[in-house]
Structure 1
Amino acid sequence: MNVLPKMLFLFQTLQIVDRVECFGKWQKDIMKFVWQGKKPRIKFKILTDAKERGGFALPDLRLYYEAASFCWMKDWFLLENTDVLDLEGFNNAFGWHAYLWYDKVKVHKLFKNHIVRKALFNVWIKYKDLLENKTPRWLSPMEAKASKILNMEGGWAKYCEIIERVGDNWKLKSLEKLKDKVRDWLHYAQIQETFKKDEKIGFQVEKSKLETELLEPKTKVLSRMYNLLLKWNTQDETVKSAMIKWAQDIGHNIMFEDWERLWTTGMKFTACTALKENIMKMIYRWYMTPVKLAEIYHLSDNKCWKCKEAEGTFFHLWWTCPKVKAFWEMIYNELKKVFKYTFHKKPEAFLLGIVGQRVSKKDRTFFLYATTAARILIAKYWKAQELPTLEEWHTQLMDYMELAEMTGRIRDLGEEAVEEDWKKFKDYLQKHYKLYEC
């Protein structure tokens, strides 16, 4: 929160990062701070991914730098701010689009001798094929073919203005239609030759991501480009390794829609950071187990800390251990008393909060509070042989429910839902245990 605004100011005012090795060093420093010098337990890509895709939204400085580069290059694409273009391209031999699309950098090497232009151009080349895999609509062959002079006029016609669709093919408009945009018949012939070459590549029919996220918007351009680059950078993490491990442990696949629902709305039942933290730790299997510690430190003992019999895998410690099973059975029985109906006891519901249709909609908020409180208690007794008692669960749940009632808000559900769950829990305690006097 403190560092990012300062870095963004630098990225947007001085685009002079030629060697990108500095980003790797900064990333290592950030990871040392996040993990307090210990070995990371979650991949950097997952940490930087957006929250709606199951990430932690940690800023990626390199992607922010590249997004800021595109904000700078926006003038190069649009060709509207002639004062800026003259200043930045004072020694250009060709039009800007000749460098951006027609590889005139190979002919005029002086273009990349400029410290700012070189840094920006390197970012463009990196993402060029992703952003524009066909001849773009914003490209101006007229400007690209023009010899660059100072105080060059603006208003260059782009492909979206000078070509038309004829059946399944594209055709350059006639000289008569373009008489206001071309100088003479020779100029028109030059554009026609360029059109024939670009036609082999094909033309962009719909608006590209570059147009919708960078060229058309007037506000929040940096955020739009960062989110676009982030999505591409983390696309190989769509099916995360933790999701695969959960499917192997549970014995069946969890639908991707259920994961998305968990990331987008499943954690909005509370404003309490401790509860959200536990959910994220469970999703990414953050807790160290005897099996993992034995692998890291080459230990001979990898047995469960509680039963001392089976291997202490993550799923065993959270679900299949006999002692843990008894604890979850106790929580399950108590929830049936509160809800006054029976529902299936599934690990994905109790450990991840993926409830589905197992619990009635009006009871889901309380179910999430109850199971998350139970998980936090298990985590407190992580390496101990004993497990929390029912009274401890009552106290822990009462604290979280009181917090929800005091804050008076549960996102997407409202204050009434909080009060209803709190009243239900108080009635349950008073009826069965006389622990709470209304």
Structure 2
Amino acid sequence: MNVLPKMLFLFQTLQIVDRVECFGKWQKDISKFVWQGKKPRIKFKILTDSKERGGFALPDLRLYYEAAAFCWMKDWLLLENTDVLDLEGFDNAFGWHAYLWYDKVKAHKMFKNHIVRKAIFMVWTKYKDLLENKTPRWLSPAEAKAWKKPNMEVGWPKYGEILEKVGENWRLQSYEKLKNKVQNWFHYAQIQEVFKLDKKVGFQVEKSKLETELLEPKTKVLSRMYNLLLKWNTQDETVKSAMIKWAQDIGYNIMFEDWERLWTTGMKFTARNALKENIMKMIYRWYMTPVKLAKIYHLSDNKCWKCKEAEGTFFHLWWTCPKVKVFWEMIHNELKKVLKYTFPKKPEAFLLGIDGQKVLKNDRTFYMYATTAARILIAKYWKTQDLPTLEEWQTQLMDYMQLAEMTGRIRDLGEETIEEDWRKFKDYLQKYFKLYEC
């Protein structure tokens, strides 16, 4: 929170990062700080991914830099701020769109001799095909073909304004219609020649992501572009390796919609970071196991710390160990008593909070508190043979519900829905106390 605003100020003020090797060094420094000098347990891409996609939302400085470069480039694309365009393109031989789309950099190599232009142009070439795979609507062939001169006029006609559709095909409007938008008939003929070449590529019919996220918005442009670049940068992590490992352990696939529901709404049951942290650790299998430690340190003993019999894999320690099974059976029975209906005891429900809609909607928040409290207690006794008692679980559950909800969310957020949730929680508490008073 202290470093990022300072970096964003630098990125937006002056684009001077010519050699991007510094981002690799910064990434290593951030990773060293996050993991306290130890080997990372979670991939950097997952750490930087959005929370809505199961990430940790750690800022990626290189993507922020590239998003800031696009914010700077916005004037080059819109062609409206002539003062800025004259200042930054004082020695340009062609129009800005000739460099951005028609690759006139090869003919005019002086364009990249400018330290700022070069840095921004390198970002553009990296994402050009992703942003615009067809001839864009914002492209102005008139500006690209016009002779560059200071104080050039604004209002250059763009493809979105000068094309018309005839049947299934696009064609250039007649000279009579464009007479007020082009300089002369020769200029119109030049545009026609460019149109014939662009027609082979095809034209962007709908608004592209570049238009909706960069060109049209007036505010929050940096965050919009960052989120767009982040989505592309982490698209190969849509199905994360941890999700595959969970499916292998459980013996069947967990639907992707269930994972999304856990990321977007499942972890919003509390404002307490300790509870959210436990869920994220479970998703990405953060806890070190005897099997993993034996591989790292070349140990001969990789048996479970609880039963001392089977291999101490992640899933065994959390679910299939005979001692842990007894503990989860106890929790399952207690929850059935409180909720007064039965539901299946599945590993994804108790370990991840993915209940498969088997728990009623009104009871789901309480259920999340109960299972999270149980997991945190197991983690507390992680490397021992002991397991939590029922009384410890009851105390932990009550503490979490009272502290996290009453003093946290209601006081700080003050939402009516949260107050309704808390009234429901108090009803659960009354049922719970009555049950044990009997």
Which TM bucket (shorter chain)? over 0.9
**Distance in 1 separating the partners of 2:407 and 2:221:** 38
- Give 1:198's aligned residue: 198
Residue equivalent to 2:130: 130
Q: When the two structures are superposed, what TM-score results if normalisation uses the length of structure 2?
A: 0.97
| Alignment pair present for 1:284 and 2:284 | yes
Distance 1:249 1:277 in 2: 22
Counterpart CA distance in 1 for 2:362 and 2:215 is 46
Q: In 1, are the aligned partners of 2:271 and 2:409 still within 8 Å (CA)?
A: no
8 Å CA contact 1:338–1:425 kept in 2: the answer is: no
1:157-188 alpha-carbon deviations (Å, 9 max, x no partner): 11111111111111011111111012222221
Which residue in the other structure is 1:83 paired with? 83
Alignment of 1:128-277 (within 5 A): 128-277=128-277
For 1:373, the equivalent position in structure 2 comes to 373
Question: Counterparts of 2:71 and 2:200 in 1: how far apart (Å)?
Answer: 30
What is residue 407 of structure 2 aligned with on the other side? 406
Equivalents in 1 of 2:321, 2:417: separation in Å? 35
Query: What residue ranges of structure 1 are gaps of 5+ in the alignment?
Result: none
Aligned residue number for residue 421 of structure 1 = 425
Q: 1:432 pairs with 415, 425, 436, which one?
A: 436
Map 1:293-308 to 2 at 5 A: 293-308=293-308
Q: Compute the displacement of 1:425 (Å).
A: 2.7
Matching residue's letter, 1:405: M
The code of the aligned residue for 1:49 comes to: D
Partner of 1:101: 101
Aligned-pair CA distance for 1:413: 4.5
1:48 aligns with 2:42: no
Number of equivalences: 434
Q: CA deviation at 1:408?
A: 5.5
Q: Contact conserved, 1:405 with 1:422, CA < 8 A, in 2?
A: no
SS at match of 1:296: helix
1:74 corresponds to 2:78:
no
Q: Where does residue 337 of structure 1 map in the other structure?
A: 337
Letter in structure 1 aligned against 2:378: I
Do 1:48 and 1:59's aligned partners in 2 also have CA atoms closer than 8 Å?
Answer: yes
Using the TM superposition, name which of 93-102 and 356-365 deviates more.
356-365
Tell which deviates more after alignment, 414-423 or 176-185.
414-423
Distance 1:330 1:49, change over 3 A: same
**Is it true that 1:111 corresponds to 2:135 in the alignment?**
no
Q: Distance in 2 between matches of 1:196 and 1:326?
A: 74
Q: SS of the residue aligned with 1:414?
A: helix
What CA deviation, in whole Å up to 9, does each residue of 1:324-370 have, x standing for no partner? 00000011111111011211111111000011221122211111111
Change (3 A) 1:2 1:331: same
CA displacement, residues 184-216 of structure 1 (integer Å, 9 cap, x when unaligned)? 222211111111011111111111111110001
Question: Where in structure 2 are the equivalents of 1:8-47 lying within 5 Å?
Answer: 8-47=8-47
Relative to structure 2, which stretch is displaced further, 421-430 or 223-232? 421-430
User: Which deviations, in whole Å up to 9, do the C-alpha atoms of 1:7-41 show, x marking residues without a partner?
Assistant: 00000011010110000000000001111111100
Q: Verify the 8 A CA contact 1:140 1:156 in the aligned structure 2.
A: yes
**CA displacement at 1:296 relative to structure 2:** 1.0
Unaligned runs of 5+ in 2: none
- Conservation of the 8 A alpha-carbon contact between 1:401 and 1:422: no
CA–CA distance in structure 1, aligned partners of residues 225 and 408 of structure 2: 35
- Is this contact kept in 2: 1:46–1:55, CA < 8 A? yes
Look up the equivalent residue of 1:146 and give its one-letter code. A
> Is contact 1:50-1:56 (8 Å) kept?
yes
More deviation in 403-412 or 158-167?
Answer: 403-412
Describe the superposition over 1:375-402 as per-residue Cα deviations: whole angstroms up to 9, x where unpaired.
0000000000010111111111111122
Identity percentage of aligned residues: 82
Q: Does structure 2 conserve the Cα–Cα contact (< 8 Å) formed by 1:275 and 1:372? A: yes
